[in-house]
Amino acid sequence: MRDYNYKEKWQKLLTPEIVQKLTLINEFKGEQRLFIEAHKDELNGLIEIAKIQSTEASNRIEGIFTADDRLKNLVQEKTTPRNRDESEIAGYRDVLNTIHESYEYIPINANYFLQLHRDLYKFIGNVDGGVFKNGDNIIRERDEQGNEKIRFKPVPAWETPESLDALCLAYKDAKNEADPLILMSMFILDFLCIHPFDDGNGRMSRLLTLLLLYQSGFIVGKYVSIEKIIEESKETYYEVLQDSSVSWHENENDYKPFVNYMLGVIVNAYKEFESRVKLVTNPNLSKADRIREIIKNHIGTITKAELIKMNPDISDTTIQRTLAELLKNDEIKKIGGGRYTKYTWNVED
């Protein structure tokens, strides 16, 4: 069976790039604490937005969708699931809420992971939630020509309970010595390589990411959706996952690509938090100015629907009018058309 000795492995990952990100994250962590103490009431709205975005993004990565209005009502528990996709979304919502509200009381062990997985599927009657995989699973990938190949063979079903127990034990053993962010990233990679369930491994890994971060004092995921940042960079996510899983069964894999990526996600989350806090706590910003600043500081593209979700206090009409004005002034660029329209800041401006 694989050796999960994090005590011996984590220090080998302290490259200059990783150390720089660790330093930056810890600086952000201190600043966030001050922001929360000073603006607790103003930040409550960010929590609700993050819940909606996290639930949507983590499920969308796995091809699970519903309409925007249905998603919002499901997350806010104003409606019940109508189909399989909505049932999975509702399950994710409940597990996410459990982690948000009770992360201090959830031990890192296989039995509790099984309970979280059970709740992930509690609205679906014909799926074995809360049990380990029944047979060996294989992770495949398909190229542009439609040809399939095996990308990774996870731990076999018979070995899964023992492997997950060993993983959790190694995490606890290293917790007081290893950097918590490096340890979290290594743990999540190994969890994905074990692939303990028939379905839901990706979503469970993202929920466990939040759990481990919160337990280590990094609560940025309550205010900014880490799942959304992963979704927006999912091509890179899958690339580093593959790079770091090469020779995993032989205990010779390189954690650095995956660790470096996860730290980058957390850095971006803190930057997004800082940007949003400045917007919601600035009394001099008009609603139009707030939309302008969000687009200006957003990495990549953003849709009107995303702007609406991020600003529930701003009407659709105001957002549409602001977008039209920004386009007219060449401050933003429009990409695509119809329901697929996206916007990005005009860097040439």
102 is in an annotated binding site: no
315 is in an annotated binding site: no
Q: Is 200 annotated as a binding residue?
A: yes
Distance, CA of 265 to CA of 271 (rounded, Å): 10
**206 annotated among ligand-binding-site residues:** yes
Please enumerate in sequence order all residues whose Cβ is within 8 A of that of 251, keeping only pairs 6 or more positions apart, or say none: 2, 3
264 has binding-site annotation: no
The verdict on whether residue 237 carries a ligand-binding annotation is yes
* Angstrom distance (rounded) from CA 179 to CA 188: 14
CB atoms within 10 A of CB 41: 6
Does 6 show up as a binding residue in the annotation?
Answer: no
Residue corresponding to tokens 């008009």? 286
**Phi-psi map region of 345: left, alpha, beta (phi>0 left; psi -120 to 50 alpha):** beta
How many whole angstroms separate alpha carbon 38 and alpha carbon 57? 30
Write the CA distances from 130 to 117, 120, 190, 196, integer angstroms: 5, 8, 19, 11
Six-digit token string for 276: 């949003």
Torsion sign across C-alpha atoms 13, 14, 20, 25: positive
Is the Cβ–Cβ distance between 160 and 194 less than 8 Å? yes
Choose, from 39, 100, 117, 195, the residue flagged as catalytic.
195
- 63 has binding-site annotation: no
Amino acid type, 84: R
DSSP H stretches of helix in 179-303: 180-194, 201-215, 226-232, 234-245, 256-280, 287-297
Is 217 known as a binding-site position? Answer: no
Asked if 195 is an active-site residue, the reply is yes
Q: How many CA atoms lie within 13 A of 210 on its CB side?
A: 31
DSSP per residue, 30-92: HHHHHHHHHSHHHHHHHHHHHHHHHHHHHHHHTT----HHHHHHHHTTSS---SHHHHHHHHH
CA angle 69, 71, 76 (to 5 degrees): 100
The annotated binding site is made up of 199-206, 237-238, 251
Residue numbers in the known binding site for ATP are 199-206, 237-238, 251
Residues with a catalytic annotation lie at: 195
